[in-house]
Amino acid sequence: MKVASLRVGSVALRVLLASSLAVLMACAGAEGPAGPQGPAGPTGTPGPTGQQGTGGAAGATGAQGPAGPTGPQGPAGLVNRVEATGVFDGSGTFTLTLPAASVANSRLPFVACWLSTDGRTWLSVSQVPAATGDVFCGLSGIGSAPAITVTNGTSGWRYYVLAMW
């Protein structure tokens, strides 16, 4: 048997290299799918918990603030007051005489009147009647004998009259 010599650049060498390459390529197949994931490793032990720190000291109490300003001066003098309560008689009229000081210096007193059928529920009486025959309360006798007069009251009803000056 005769061994052929292989020279560089010879046809035989080229055929041999091409054949070897073809065989190598034929042996290598396509890459398969990835295998399953392996199990997780063990969990490590946790480190020690740190020590709780101590709380801080309470702060000092602040100083008291300055006093506020003085309030305004109230009005001088006292309020004078006169009042009366009772039950209307058959006339339906009541008059409360006022002292002259209640209308001094061209001033008029504060006047209020109330009516009640039972002494528990009271209704304010108008100082100007809406119609003839309505109950009303007003000042009378200014300049001579000042008074508060309630007229057209119902016999047996209660009245309460108040004046302040």
CA distance 4 to 21: 20
Q: Please report, in tens digits, the pLDDT of each residue of the chain (165 residues total).
A: 555 555 555 666 666 666 665 655 555 567 778 888 888 888 888 888 888 888 888 888 888 888 888 878 777 777 899 999 999 999 999 999 999 999 998 899 999 999 999 999 999 998 888 888 999 999 999 988 999 999 999 999 999 999 999
- Asked if residues 141 and 153 have their Cβ atoms less than 8 Å apart, the reply is no
Q: Quick one: pLDDT at residue 2?
A: 55
Q: Quick one: pLDDT at residue 27?
A: 57
| Helix, strand, or coil (residue 95) | strand
The two tokens of residue 4 are 């052929």
Q: Quick one: pLDDT at residue 151?
A: 95
Contacts of 102 (CB under 8 A, 6+ apart): 80, 82, 109, 146, 163, 165
Which sequence spans correspond to the domains of the chain?
Answer: 81-164
Q: Given the structure tokens 């309360």, which residue do they identify?
A: 137
CA distance 19 to 26: 10
- Asked if residues 78 and 156 have their Cβ atoms less than 8 Å apart, the reply is no
**DSSP letter assigned to residue 130:** S
Q: Quick one: pLDDT at residue 62?
A: 85
Topology of domain 81-164 in CATH is Immunoglobulin-like (2.60.40)
